[in-house]
């Protein structure tokens, strides 16, 4: 049984369940088919996820999974049926290739579009609000991350619509359609921000391997036509923010703090 959370949308959009429902951080999901097309039905009442659905529809398949239907808390998108995994690639000798694939998908997401921007987009400075009180409380590397974030946010460049959570698990293999994004946060701000989380993934051990951050920052800068220095600066700012979020959730921020320290060392701070 698909369950009551899905049934109204199954009926409305003439869907056939095609797998077992499951839960993610963002909501409840059910593999389905619509007129034979493999799709994923996602239902979430979280405002951030609803805003992400609006943005997915706005992207209209350019860099992101094509949306078949969208209304309120429900999103129906084409399902990724390819067998590739960017995380597996990054861990098995194809790290540069995985990074370039993400950068290519982000190019599509960042591209200008005609028409009005989604009203749900959050300004990037709002996204960083947790960092200042946490840095003021704990100091150390977080103070360096805070200072860097303030400098970057005060001097935005190439402002565009951002994914907001660009990591290896949020870009899936859609076969003939290529590698496309899912699960955006829906931000607007400096384009360079979207690449920082790529450098923190696909996992901590991979991210902090000797020389890895330096190399992948170079790959990102080349693939995305970014200033290498500013790419590392965004990493310092983002890693501090990630640590602040982790602390606010009551968890250990050691991984994010380690990445921030690496970035600061690369910057000579």
Joined together, the tokens standing for residue 193 give 């921000």
The model's pTM: 0.95
Enter the DSSP assignment of 92: T
pLDDT of residue 3: 56
Residue 114's pLDDT is 86
Torsion of CA 115, 49, 152, 116, to 10 degrees: 10
Count the neighbouring beta carbons within 10 Å of the beta carbon of residue 238: 29
Residues of the chain with pLDDT under 70: 1-3
Residue-wise pLDDT tens digits, 192-233: 999 999 999 999 999 999 999 999 999 999 999 999 999 999
Structure confidence by residue, pLDDT tens digits, 36-61:
999 999 999 889 899 999 999 999 99
Look up 165 and say whether it is catalytic: yes
Q: Which of 4, 88, 96, 165 is catalytic?
A: 165
Q: pLDDT at position 1, please?
A: 40
Cα gap 242→204, rounded to integer Å: 13
**In 3D, which of 50, 38, 71 has the Cα closest to residue 172?**
38
DSSP 79: P
Domains and CATH numbers, the chain: 4-78 (3.30.200), 86-266 (3.90.1200.10)
């Amino acid at each position: 049984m698909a369950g009551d959370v899905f049934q109204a949308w199954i009926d409305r959009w003439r869907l056939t369940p095609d797998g077992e429902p499951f839960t993610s951080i963002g909501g409840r999901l059910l593999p389905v088919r619509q007129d034979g097309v493999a799709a994923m039905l996602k239902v979430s009442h979280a405002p951030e996820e609803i805003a992400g659905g609006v943005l997915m529809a706005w992207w209209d398949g350019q860099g992101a999974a094509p949306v078949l239907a969208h209304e309120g808390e429900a999103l129906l998108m084409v399902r990724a049926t390819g067998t590739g995994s960017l995380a597996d690639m990054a861990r098995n000798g194809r790290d540069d290739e995985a990074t370039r694939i993400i950068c290519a998908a982000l190019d599509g997401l960042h591209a200008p579009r005609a028409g009005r921007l989604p009203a749900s987009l959050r300004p990037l400075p709002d996204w960083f609000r947790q960092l200042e009180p946490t840095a003021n409380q704990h100091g150390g590397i977080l103070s360096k991350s805070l200072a860097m974030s303030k400098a970057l946010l005060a001097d935005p460049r190439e402002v565009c619509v951002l994914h907001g959570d660009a990591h290896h698990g949020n870009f899936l293999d859609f076969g003939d359609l290529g590698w496309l994004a899912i699960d955006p946060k829906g931000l607007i701000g400096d384009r360079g921000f979207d690449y920082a989380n790529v450098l923190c993934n696909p996992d901590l051990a991979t991210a902090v391997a000797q020389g890895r951050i330096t190399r992948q920052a170079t790959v990102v800068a080349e693939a995305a036509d970014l200033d290498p220095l500013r790419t590392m600066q965004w990493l310092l700012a983002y890693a501090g923010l990630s640590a602040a979020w982790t602390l606010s959730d009551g968890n250990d921020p050691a991984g994010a703090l380690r990445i921030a320290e690496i970035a600061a060392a690369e910057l000579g701070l």
